[in-house]
């Protein structure tokens, strides 16, 4: 809290207390004077407790010492209040008590003690609550920053080998003076620009994501020539839909990494995207290497790449907003994702 907030709190508390006791005594001047004496004592006790005693004893788990010092401090302030009231205001220091009081009686000490304890407890509770809220906000900001950092890291996991291999293919096409060269360079440029500059936000247009996927597939087709067959179908309205960037591309890269490179001969990859009732249903299937044991392949293909995607889903979406299933069927590795868009 700033100085302004402290002053506002005490001014408000002072005004309300003066009006309360002024109404009780039917003497607002007397209430004003006694509060002018009492409130500095309240403030000294509260700030002593909050900024000295608690940090020195409570936060260090020295509870007995804390109790002893706070009791002594309150008792000293009660004695000070008695004497200030007696010599500056009235010899009847406790007009609201059961009888006129001009001596430091046990009843007076007990009553004033609990009164001061109430004020200290009240103010301390406010301070602890504000500190808790401030710390909660600080932790939330740290978690948000950590989340954004982790998401940014996970977004960069597209394999650099893909780009190296694509550049080598472009070089070969250039040597052969192939007419495909300008088109392939353009596709690579569009893909790299998208990955570098348009994937920083938490969500990206589904249309842009699909265009990115199509560019990626075009480049992979150049790499694998006639050995690769890719069937991609899109149904439903994809306009004005958003999804976490590079999410789907990670599944597709995984299919090429494990389903294409490790197979010999013609390879077929099927990709299906459909929009229904506010959700995107995404399915991709690729063949498993014939020499690979079924369960072992499933475990390996669910390695670093797919683990990154799972983390991104958990970090970027609520549990009810997506469902991911990875399984094998008829020598095919299949990924099915239902996700809110």
> Which domains, and CATH codes, for the chain?
3-151 (no CATH), 156-340 (3.30.565.10)
3-state SS class at 148: helix
Residue-wise burial string across 208-237, b where 16 or more C-beta atoms lie within 10 A, e elsewhere: ebbebbbbbbbbbbbbbeeebebeeeeeee
| Pairwise CA distance, residues 136 & 117, whole Å | 28
Cβ-based neighbours of 307, under 8 Å, separated by 6 or more: none
Band of residue 306 on the pLDDT scale cut at 50, 70, 90: confident
* Cα Dmax for the chain: 112
pLDDT tens digit sequence for 240-278: 999 988 888 888 888 887 766 555 556 788 999 999 989
Band of residue 297 on the pLDDT scale cut at 50, 70, 90: very low
Pick from 55-59, 256-260, 287-291 the range whose average pLDDT is largest: 55-59
Of 153, 186, 181, 149, nearest to 168 (Cα)? 181
| Pairwise CA distance, residues 142 & 21, whole Å | 47
Pick from 144-158, 274-288, 293-307 the range whose average pLDDT is largest: 274-288
pLDDT tens digit sequence for 217-234: 888 887 776 677 889 999
What average pLDDT does range 1-9 have in this prediction? 86
Pick from 64-78, 131-145, 153-167 the range whose average pLDDT is largest: 64-78
Band of residue 13 on the pLDDT scale cut at 50, 70, 90: very high
**What is the model's pLDDT at position 295?**
47
Q: Among 17-21, 53-57, 313-317, which stretch is predicted with the lowest mean pLDDT?
A: 313-317
3-state SS class at 192: helix
| Pairwise CA distance, residues 341 & 264, whole Å | 37
Q: Among 233-242, 269-278, 281-290, which stretch is predicted with the lowest mean pLDDT?
A: 281-290
| Pairwise CA distance, residues 59 & 19, whole Å | 37
**What is the model's pLDDT at position 265?**
56
What average pLDDT does range 191-196 have in this prediction? 80
Q: Among 9-18, 67-76, 124-133, 313-322, which stretch is predicted with the lowest mean pLDDT?
A: 313-322
**What is the model's pLDDT at position 302?**
47
Q: What is the DSSP string of 195-254?
A: HHHS--SS-EEHHHHHHHHHHHHHHHHHHHGGGEEEEEEEES--TT-EE-TTHHHHHHHH
Q: Among 100-104, 139-143, 324-328, which stretch is predicted with the lowest mean pLDDT?
A: 139-143
The percent of residues above 70 in pLDDT, for the chain, comes to 87
Q: What is the DSSP string of 14-72?
A: HHHHHHHHHHHHT-HHHHHHHHHHHHHHHHHHHHHIIIIIIIIIITTT-HHHHHHHHHH
The mean predicted confidence, pLDDT, of the chain is: 84
Tokens 């009847």 found at: 92
């Amino acid at each position: 809290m700033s100085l302004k907030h402290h002053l506002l709190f005490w001014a408000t508390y002072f005004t309300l207390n003066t009006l309360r006791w002024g109404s009780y005594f039917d003497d607002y001047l007397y209430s004003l004077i006694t509060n002018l004496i009492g409130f500095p004592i309240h403030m000294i006790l509260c700030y002593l407790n909050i900024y000295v005693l608690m940090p020195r004893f409570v936060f260090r788990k020295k509870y007995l010492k804390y109790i002893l010092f706070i009791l002594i401090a309150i008792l000293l302030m009660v004695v000070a209040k008695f004497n200030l009231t007696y010599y500056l205001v009235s010899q009847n220091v406790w007009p609201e008590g059961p009888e006129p009081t001009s001596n430091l009686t046990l009843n007076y000490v007990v009553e004033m003690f609990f009164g001061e304890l109430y004020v200290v407890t009240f103010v301390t509770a406010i301070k602890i609550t504000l500190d808790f809220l401030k710390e909660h906000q600080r932790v939330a900001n740290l978690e948000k920053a950590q989340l954004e950092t982790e998401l940014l890291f996970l977004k960069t996991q597209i394999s650099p080998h893909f780009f190296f291999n694509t550049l080598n293919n472009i070089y070969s096409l250039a040597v052969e003076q192939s007419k495909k060269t300008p088109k392939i360079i353009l596709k690579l440029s569009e893909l790299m620009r998208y990955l570098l500059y348009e994937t920083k936000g938490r969500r990206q247009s589904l249309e842009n994501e699909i265009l990115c996927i199509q560019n990626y597939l075009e480049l992979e087709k150049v790499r694998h020539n006639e050995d690769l067959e890719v069937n991609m179908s899109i149904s439903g309205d994809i306009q004005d839909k958003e999804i976490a960037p590079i999410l789907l591309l990670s599944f597709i890269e995984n299919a090429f990494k494990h389903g294409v490179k490790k197979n010999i001969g013609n390879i077929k990859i099927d990709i299906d995207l459909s929009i229904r009732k506010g959700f995107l249903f995404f399915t991709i299937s690729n063949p498993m290497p014939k020499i690979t044991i079924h369960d072992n392949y499933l475990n390996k293909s669910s390695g670093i790449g797919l683990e990154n995607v799972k983390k991104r889903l958990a970090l970027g979406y609520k549990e009810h907003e997506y469902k991911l299933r990875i399984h094998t069927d008829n020598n095919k590795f299949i990924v099915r994702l239902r996700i809110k868009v």
